Amino acid sequence: MAGLFDGTPLERPVTCACCERPLAECACPRDADGSMLLPGDQKATVRLEKRRRGKVVTTVTGLDPHASAVADILRELKRRCATGGSAGADGALEVQGDHRERVAGILRELGFAVA
């Protein structure tokens, strides 16, 4: 690739301000509009909710489904809480049982702001 874009700055490819890679190769977290959205800028809310027949689930809302690897996060939560769970299309997660403390801790480890 060296030399291909040599010349004036205007001929250089547009690079990401964060990782300095060409935008086509940038894997930085972005929302649906293409704006940078780092985990720390997403405020996760962890709550306990009651389901039918007295079951409780720990829910996580506030994660951007475009900017965050929601499926990977859910997998990590399920593994570390040793329980089942699911993800909604809007990025909302729920894991079975009351795991608020552990879930909040894992989200903080991943860099999210937790309410």
Residues that bind Zn ion (CB under 5 A): 16, 18-19, 26, 28
Residue nearest to Zn ion (CB): 16
CB of 100 to Zn ion, least distance (A): 33
The smaller minimum CB distance to Zn ion, of residues 26 and 92, is found at 26
Any idea how long the chain is? 115
- 4: which 2 tokens? 């291909």
CB of 38 to Zn ion, least distance (A): 10
The smaller minimum CB distance to Zn ion, of residues 41 and 98, is found at 41
Integer Cα distance of 53 and 43 in angstroms: 30
CB of 35 to Zn ion, least distance (A): 12
The smaller minimum CB distance to Zn ion, of residues 28 and 92, is found at 28
